[in-house]
């Protein structure tokens, strides 16, 4: 007993659990998953033929799209507080095959989204430093930015969370100054300008959709959140308010206080608006804020993508190597995999990436809404710490408008987008049986076969499987781990029970 006590004390001294995310850092991460500030909304004024449709869009779209998605995320993320998020939701509702497809589509969409931010970072800087328009400087800068931000992700999620808070404050403050300076110059009639002949509906809807999606992304790191049943709903509510205000208020100030033609509103134009309202000092400040905002967007997106792969690995959908953690508690291989994808996709144009990621994201969200409704029917007694206060018919009606919007965005896609997205989907269909075959042949180790203890951290803090048993207590989600390979069903079930017993000891 004495020796065991000494060993236990030594382990407690050596193991330092990584800090969990609290409300404020989670709000900042969701803010950066979805928005990052008004940078990138300028295209909505141009595509909408004037300020009116842009302003109406950021008033109406959050009601039709953002709030329903945030409510669905709040209910399901608190019911399944595990890394992997929507992959677990879909698997519980429709089985592991569709859960894997959801994870593959959303991961690919997220990596494409993340490839935008180093590009946008340099696009804002090139207005003051034209050398970044040349490939000789642009390519090394893109690589340097990606490597530096990837290292920050590697150092710990709590660091990413608190850096996101700092970046959000720095990014939004110049717009607060711009709004104050613009008040004497605002002419409300300029908000009503619209030329329907010049409206680019495809560009308008893609811009709106991109600037208001990814509310569900933070669910992929739910296992890293402190008291997720209370923290998630508060953080999502705070993030919705912050995102909508960060779009509407600068747009009201910029379009109401200047007489710029709609055609001038393109990516980076808020810097010019700042110059027109406050002078060159405000332009440079907004450019610096834009650059910092893109850093925050990159950090938040990469965290979500990496922890999604970690969660899929903990469920046995990916090899165990994707669940390996660094001494900082971060999924090393998953981060490197996401960073590699970003580097390879950075050569694509902004509009191409935008349309591709929107299409894949739309398919995944349709599956999430379907899973949300099916789980209400299939699992009415599922423990839901936060529950949308509507019955089955009510939540169906809640999901209908955003689902119709998703279909509209997909219908407006180009033939090239249909082709690329089709290739990604076929790849996912082929990859799943290939991984099952590799698991059956034991070509590589999967966590579902031999649940390992996480390195350098306590099981209580970082074991998604342990939390799955202790907090969710839902046999459907537990079944994810045993149903991945039909030929190994009985064997894996017994091994999972054994792993649970070991962890409980």
Q: What domains can be seen in the chain, in order of their start residue? A: 23-437 (1.20.1740.10)
Q: What percentage of the chain exceeds 70 in pLDDT?
A: 78
Does residue 153 surpass a pLDDT of 70? no
**HSE-up of 15 (CA within 13 Å, CB side)?**
18
Backbone angles phi, psi at 54, to 5 degrees: -65, -45
pLDDT in tens, 467-495: 433 443 343 333 343 443 443 443 344 34
DSSP-derived secondary structure for 262-279: GGG--TTHHHHHHHHHH-
How crowded is residue 505: how many other Cβ atoms within 10 Å of its Cβ?
A: 5
d(CA 179, CA 363): 38
- What is the residue whose two structure tokens read 């590799």? 438
pTM for this predicted structure: 0.73
Instruction: Output helix, strand, coil percentages for the chain, rounded to the nearest 5.
Output: 75, 0, 20
Beta bridge partners of 225: 21
Beta bridge partners of 21: 225
Residue 141 Ramachandran class (φ > 0 left, ψ -120 to 50 alpha, else beta): alpha
Q: Which residues contact 435 (CB under 8 A, 6 or more apart)?
A: 100, 317, 318, 319
Contact by Cβ (8 Å): 81, 472: yes
pLDDT in tens, 365-388: 999 999 999 999 989 888 888 899
Point out the least confidently predicted range of 142-156, 229-243, 407-421.
142-156
DSSP-derived secondary structure for 98-125: HHHHHHHHHHHHHHHHHTHHHHHHHHHH
pLDDT in tens, 426-479: 999 999 999 888 888 888 878 754 333 333 333 333 344 334 334 433 433 333
CA 418 to chain centre: 23
């Amino acid at each position: 007993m004495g020796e065991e006590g000494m060993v236990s004390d030594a382990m407690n001294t050596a193991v330092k659990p990584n800090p969990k995310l609290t409300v404020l850092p989670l709000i900042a991460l969701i803010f950066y998953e979805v928005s990052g500030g008004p940078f990138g909304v300028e295209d909505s004024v141009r595509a909408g033929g004037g300020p009116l449709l842009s302003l109406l869009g950021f008033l109406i779209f959050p009601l039709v799209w953002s709030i329903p998605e945030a409510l669905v995320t709040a209910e399901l993320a608190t019911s399944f507080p595990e890394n992997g998020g929507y992959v677990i939701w879909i698997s519980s509702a429709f089985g592991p095959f569709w859960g894997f497809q959801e994870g593959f589509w959303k991961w690919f969409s997220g990596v494409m989204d993340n490839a935008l931010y180093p590009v946008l970072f340099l696009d804002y800087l090139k207005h003051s430093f034209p050398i970044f328009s040349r490939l000789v400087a642009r390519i090394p800068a893109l690589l340097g930015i990606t490597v530096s931000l990837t290292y920050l992700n590697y150092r710990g999620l709590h660091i990413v969370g608190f850096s996101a808070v700092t970046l959000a404050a720095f990014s939004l403050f110049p717009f607060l100054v711009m709004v104050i300076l613009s008040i004497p110059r605002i002419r409300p009639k300029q908000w009503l300008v619209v030329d329907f002949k010049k409206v680019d509906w495809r560009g308008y809807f893609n811009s709106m959709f991109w600037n208001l999606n990814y509310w569900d992304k933070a669910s992929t790191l739910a296992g890293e959140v402190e008291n997720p049943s209370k923290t998630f709903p508060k953080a999502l509510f705070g993030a919705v308010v912050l995102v909508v205000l960060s779009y509407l208020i600068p747009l009201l100030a910029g379009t109401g206080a200047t007489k710029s033609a709609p055609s001038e509103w393109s990516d980076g134009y808020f810097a010019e608006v700042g110059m027109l309202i406050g002078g060159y000092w405000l332009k440079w400040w907004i450019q610096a804020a834009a650059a910092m905002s893109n850093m925050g967007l990159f950090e938040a997106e990469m965290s979500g993508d990496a922890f999604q792969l970690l969660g899929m690995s903990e469920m046995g959908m990916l090899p165990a190597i994707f669940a390996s953690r660094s001494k900082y508690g971060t999924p090393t291989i998953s981060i490197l995999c996401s960073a590699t994808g970003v580097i390879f996709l950075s050569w694509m144009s902004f509009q191409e990436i935008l349309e591709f990621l929107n299409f894949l994201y739309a398919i995944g969200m349709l599956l999430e809404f379907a899973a949300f409704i099916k789980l209400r029917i299939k699992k009415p007694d599922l423990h839901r710490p936060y529950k949308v206060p509507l019955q089955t018919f009510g939540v169906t009606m809640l999901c209908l408008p955003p689902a119709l919007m998703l279909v509209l965005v997909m219908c407006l896609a180009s033939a090239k987008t249909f082709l690329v997205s089709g290739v990604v989907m076929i790849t996912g269909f082929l990859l799943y049986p290939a991984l099952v075959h590799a698991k059956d042949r034991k070509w590589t180790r999967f966590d579902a076969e031999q649940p390992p203890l996480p390195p350098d951290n306590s099981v209580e803090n970082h074991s998604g499987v342990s939390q799955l048993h202790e907090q969710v207590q839902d046999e459907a989600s537990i079944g994810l781990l045993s149903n991945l390979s039909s030929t190994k069903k009985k064997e894996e079930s017994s091994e999972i029970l054994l792993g649970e017993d070991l962890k409980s000891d």
